[in-house]
Amino acid sequence: MNGRMNEREGIATDQGKMDGPRSMKRARAARHRRLEIRRIRSSRSDGQDLEQAKRARRERRGCEQECLLSGSDTGSSEPLMTSSSSSEDLEGIIRAGGSVPSGILVAGGWEDAEAGMPCRSHGSVSLCGRRREMEDAVTVAPGLVVAGGEARFDFFGVYDGHGGAFVAQACRERLHRIVASEVERRSGGGGDVDWKEVMEACFEEMDGEIVAEERAEAKTIGSTAVVAMVGMGKVVVANCGDSRAVLSRGGVAVQLSSDHKPDRPDEMHRVEAAGGRVINWDGYRVLGVLATSRSIGDHYLKPFVISEPEVVVTHRTERDEFLILASDGLWDVVPNDMACEVTRRCLYGQSKKQLLGGGGDTRGAAEAAAMLAEMAMGRGSKDNISVVVVELRKAYSR
């Protein structure tokens, strides 16, 4: 009997030696499961279910991002920016090395400025960011039209929708075609063009097309619009809403559009003169509803909210470096001068070779647009983010 007990003990001892590694693996697996359960419970305690927690993680990794034009994934999965002070933001870009984070698709083009092309390169990126839905839209249309003695004009547009994506998408598909048709009708392909009249007529026509839509929900949807016609001798900017165009000239940020905020004194006076009110309800809003005083669409708020753009015609100089068009998802958290400094370093700075993995990459403007979008995310932007960078200068020297 003692022999059988010793035999069993020996078998148990041998089995324990065999199960040792297995037990350790099972213990590690159980610990991982407990940690995961804790993370899930923590997410739920903050008012998020499991799916929302997964969505939040994907957003932080830059996975819920949308590019409106085809591009290529450049690879790095490390975030480029973190929330910090202005100087740290700039230095963070330089230290980041690498290129655009995985999941951000950038769109861009490269042109020959010496062959009569208005810009050297252009790039765009449009991200859903921390919003549940994507309501921004971007249009890039090189060589759209010939007008006013210029070789040609390139068209760039950023549209920031609200209440839905319908109006922004309609502007993306139609507004540049309306502009081309109107310019050709007025100039016949040559002669001077009254850009203020052209842009006002085009925005009015675009707004009229939205009115003509028989969809009931279209009446409560709108979009801001900032567009730029870039020629060899001038840049024409038309703005309706709180998106913005900024030109870098000789190292100085020059704002080419003025945000249409309801608390802007002249806009508040216009709204009140039309019989409306500007109410401070979680920020200044027209009738306590809309945080911009001009837009395309939003017909339930007319005549207080209008679609008439403000138009600025700027003659180009040799000091003009680049143009940035972006929705307020960028401008709410990134000042003009910081956006220009980041773009300048991407395009012309000593860090270009490091940032672009050896230099010679023809997507410099697209990389700059993606840098700005990622920077806005890092600085806490809660909106959709759309950015277009237009490189105007072929060579740069301080």
CA neighbours within 13 Å on the CB side: how many for 12?
A: 6
Residue 204 phi, psi (nearest 5): -65, -40
What is the token pair recorded at 127?
């991200």
pLDDT at 100: 38
pLDDT exceeds 60 at position 353: no
Torsion angle, alpha carbons of 202, 206, 207, 209, to 10? 140
The residue type found at 205 is E
d(CA 213, CA 219): 9
Radius of gyration of the chain (CA): 27
| DSSP assignment string, 109-138 | EE--GGGT-S-SEEEEEEE-TTSSS--EEE
Q: Cα angle vertex 174, ends 170, 176, to 5°?
A: 130
Question: Is the model more confident about 341 or about 100?
Answer: 341
The position carrying tokens 């470096």 is 321
pLDDT digits (tens, 9 = 90+) for 38-53: 443 333 334 444 344 3
What is the token pair recorded at 60?
């932080």
pTM: 0.72
How much is the mean pLDDT over the chain? Answer: 76
Residues above pLDDT 90, as percent of the chain: 56
Nearest of 382, 373, 398, 388 to residue 80 by alpha carbon? 373
94 near 351, Cβ under 8 Å?
Answer: yes
